[in-house]
Amino acid sequence: MAKYEYQTEIGQLLQLMTHSLYSHREIFLRELISNANDALDKFKYLHLTDEKFKNETWDPKINIKIDKEDNSLAVTDNGIGMNEEDLIHNLGTIAKSGTKAFLEQLTGDAKKDNNLIGQFGVGFYSVFMVAERVDVITKKAGEDQAWKFSSDGTGEYEITPVIKDEHGTVVYLKLKEDAKEFLDHWRVKEIVKKYSDHIPYPIFLHYEEEENVGEGDKVEMKKVKKSEQVNEAKALWTLPKSELKDEDYIEFYSTLWHDSEEPLTWTHNQVEGSLEYTTLFYIPRTAPADIFRADFQPGVKLYVKRVFITDDEKELLPLYLRFVRGIIDSEDLPLNVSREILQENRILANIRQASVKKILAAIKKLDEEKFDRFIDQYNKLIKEGIFTDHLNKESLLEIVRYKSSKVEGMTSLDYYMKRAGEREGETKKEFYYIVGEDEHLLRNSPLLEAYRKADIEVLIMDDKEIDEIVTPAIGEYKGWKFVDIATVDAPEVEDKEKLEQYGETFTPLVEKLKTILGEAVKEVRLTTRLSESPSCVVPDSSDPMAQMRHLFRQMGQ
């Protein structure tokens, strides 16, 4: 037997699990089942691709055993299993850098915090919400030695060699006094149904029940062993859309991505033809906590013919869609597809392009409340997309929203164009914008003043690091250019009050000039634009000849 100390962060985490997170304790079961599912997925892959395991008769399943007398619950799988090193690495340390971030993000709001547990992959430790001791008895596929990991959720754990026949893992929980509700088979069934109905492997529940046995005088209460399958055990995305209800989609989402909030929307596509594949994508209501970290966990899982391949490939979708959760299941890829092949694969590139279209279409279909939420959470990433995804630029420019000098909240570019079109006078096809860090400072910028006077709308771009790079690179949207008002002359504006004052005095002069000049000019009018000279001749900007003259003058003629 060997004793080990937990990594410090885990110590903190355990402290929290054991003492603070009391509501929603039931999610420990969801986490254990999800780990069993992952372990089965991994072995399924070996079973299909590795000569060593091909001949094994294997009946993948998850068993949950309730033992009321022993006060215990055990979750068993015949998946990949773990060796000693795996145990230390997977359960004694937190390999992913997420833990620190997790601890930092805890809010004290149990609902949100529980949600984070799943997101950061610290799921196993949730057992300490209900268990006073945990034993993990496990044997790795292809190895001879089995191991037992034991911990009471304090600073240390033990690892002992043990004997076990089949590969796979048993997680044995000695329940705390106040966690006896999880010995009730109805309760356990309810939890499995709620969180794990669409786990594609059968989940069996084993328990004992007292029953009247015998007849007449000989009736006696006896303990009877019962076993039943509690979940549907079908990969949801393979079911016909017509059979699926909103609840099914939502439940599947919360099972796989550990999010207790309903997704904003989803899009499910079963494609047949020269390429055959199924995709199911969700948009989380709240942006995953790690999307602005370099080591973010990708949200899309790749399957080939229902066999799980990877959930660690960052470019199944373009990077700017890294908030999307979902599944790609291809009929055409080989099972033993390698990372290098994945990255340059024509089939995947094809699926990826079609997927982006579907996701963007789903975003555009959101109702107002959800769309606002979407923008609130993901506008920055849409801007990233405008910069990087040339194929879908136009579509992304339809989605992106900006603050504006004219309207409250956010505006689309299309509405900007509409408002500009409704304004009196001539309108150049230009989006005016100002970039900076602080919305308040931008709104009070002296640069804006002239535009306000001229009644010209200016987009207020306060995502400085992003806007500064992205906006100038846009080029055009529907024939309209983007103009940074810091780089051009302010519009010339007439001061209406002064014009009226001057009008009384100068109207006779204007009339006189009109008669004198006659056909030589198009119009004579008062202006407040000039501060030094009394008058000037201006070309008519709608007159092509005037434009030519302007051009010649520029060329020095």
Binding site, residues? 31, 35, 77, 82, 90, 96-98, 119-124, 169, 339
We find the least distance from the C-beta atom of residue 132 to ligand ADP, in angstroms, to be: 19
As a residue count, the chain comes to 557
Closest CA to 308 of 281, 280, 327: 327
Question: What Cα–Cα distance (Å) separates residue 462 from each residue in 110, 188, 302, 379, 542?
Answer: 33, 50, 37, 12, 35
Q: Residue number with the shortest CB distance to ligand ADP?
A: 121
- Helices (H), strands (E): how many in the chain? 18, 20
- The Cβ of residue 148 has, within 10 Å, a number of other Cβ atoms equal to 19
Structure tokens at 290: 């790690």
Q: Identify the residue among 79, 81, 98, 123 touching Mg ion (CB under 5 A).
A: 123
Interaction between residue 35 and Mg ion (CB under 5 A): yes
Q: Which does 80 bind (CB under 5 to 8 A by kind): Mg ion, ligand ADP, none?
A: ligand ADP
d(CA 190, CA 194): 6
Interaction between residue 355 and Mg ion (CB under 5 A): no
Interaction between residue 345 and Mg ion (CB under 5 A): no
Q: Which does 200 bind (CB under 5 to 8 A by kind): ligand ADP, Mg ion, none?
A: none
Residue 213 contacts residue 224 (beta carbons within 8 Å): yes
Q: Identify the residue among 60, 79, 318, 385 touching ligand ADP (CB under 6 A).
A: 79
Contacts of 316 (CB under 8 A, 6+ apart): 298, 300, 302, 328, 348, 352
We find the least distance from the C-beta atom of residue 435 to Mg ion, in angstroms, to be: 43
d(CA 355, CA 332): 16
Q: Which is nearer to ligand ADP, 36 or 175 (CB)?
A: 36
Structure tokens at 89: 């690495």
Q: Which is nearer to ligand ADP, 318 or 326 (CB)?
A: 326
Interaction between residue 82 and ligand ADP (CB under 6 A): yes
Total residues in contact with Mg ion, by rule CB under 5 A: 3
Q: Which is nearer to Mg ion, 27 or 359 (CB)?
A: 27
Q: Identify the residue among 10, 26, 61, 123 touching ligand ADP (CB under 6 A).
A: 123
Task: Write b or e for each residue in 68-103: b if 16 or more Cβ atoms lie within 10 A of its Cβ, otherwise e.
Answer: eeebbbbbbbbbbbbbbeebbeebbebeeebbebbe
| Residue tagged 């434009």 (tokens) | 547
We find the least distance from the C-beta atom of residue 171 to Mg ion, in angstroms, to be: 11
Interaction between residue 98 and ligand ADP (CB under 6 A): no
Interaction between residue 36 and ligand ADP (CB under 6 A): yes
Closest CA to 351 of 275, 294, 297, 283: 275
Query: Which of 31-39, 317-325, 388-396, 520-528 is the region at the interface with ligand ADP (rule: CB under 6 A)?
Result: 31-39
Q: Angle between the 110-119 and 27-49 helix axes, to the nearest 10 degrees?
A: 10
Residue 345 contacts residue 317 (beta carbons within 8 Å): no
Judge residue 220's burial from the number of C-beta atoms within 10 Å of its C-beta, 0-12 exposed, 13-18 middle, 19 or more buried. Answer: exposed
d(CA 124, CA 117): 9
Q: Which residues are annotated as a binding site for ATP?
A: 31, 35, 77, 82, 90, 96-98, 119-124, 169, 339
Total residues in contact with ligand ADP, by rule CB under 6 A: 17
β-strands 131-139, 2-5 pairing? unpaired
Q: Which is nearer to Mg ion, 28 or 277 (CB)?
A: 28
Q: Which is nearer to ligand ADP, 27 or 382 (CB)?
A: 27
Single-letter amino acid code for the residue at 282: Y
Structure tokens at 45: 């892959």
We find the least distance from the C-beta atom of residue 35 to ligand ADP, in angstroms, to be: 3
Structure tokens at 375: 């923008």
Q: Which is nearer to Mg ion, 123 or 318 (CB)?
A: 123
Q: Identify the residue among 77, 113, 384, 457 touching ligand ADP (CB under 6 A).
A: 77
Q: Which is nearer to ligand ADP, 125 or 378 (CB)?
A: 125
- H or E stretch at 136: strand 131-139
What is Dmax (Cα atoms) for the chain? 130
Interaction between residue 91 and ligand ADP (CB under 6 A): yes
Q: Which does 79 bind (CB under 5 to 8 A by kind): ligand ADP, Mg ion, none?
A: ligand ADP
We find the least distance from the C-beta atom of residue 136 to ligand ADP, in angstroms, to be: 7
d(CA 141, CA 52): 10
β-strands 156-162, 146-151 pairing? antiparallel
Q: Which is nearer to ligand ADP, 34 or 355 (CB)?
A: 34
Query: Which of 76-84, 434-442, 463-471, 523-531 is the region at the interface with ligand ADP (rule: CB under 6 A)?
Result: 76-84
Query: Which of 72-80, 102-110, 240-248, 536-544 is the region at the interface with ligand ADP (rule: CB under 6 A)?
Result: 72-80
| Residue tagged 């496990």 (tokens) | 138
d(CA 181, CA 188): 9
Interaction between residue 35 and ligand ADP (CB under 6 A): yes
Q: Which does 288 bind (CB under 5 to 8 A by kind): Mg ion, ligand ADP, none?
A: none
Q: Which does 77 bind (CB under 5 to 8 A by kind): Mg ion, ligand ADP, none?
A: ligand ADP
Q: Which is nearer to ligand ADP, 38 or 313 (CB)?
A: 38
Q: Identify the residue among 6, 58, 124, 482 touching ligand ADP (CB under 6 A).
A: 124
Q: Which is nearer to Mg ion, 73 or 91 (CB)?
A: 91
Instruction: Give the binding site for ligand ADP (CB under 6 A).
Output: 31, 35-36, 38-39, 77, 79-82, 90-91, 121-124, 169
Instruction: Give the binding site for Mg ion (CB under 5 A).
Output: 34-35, 123
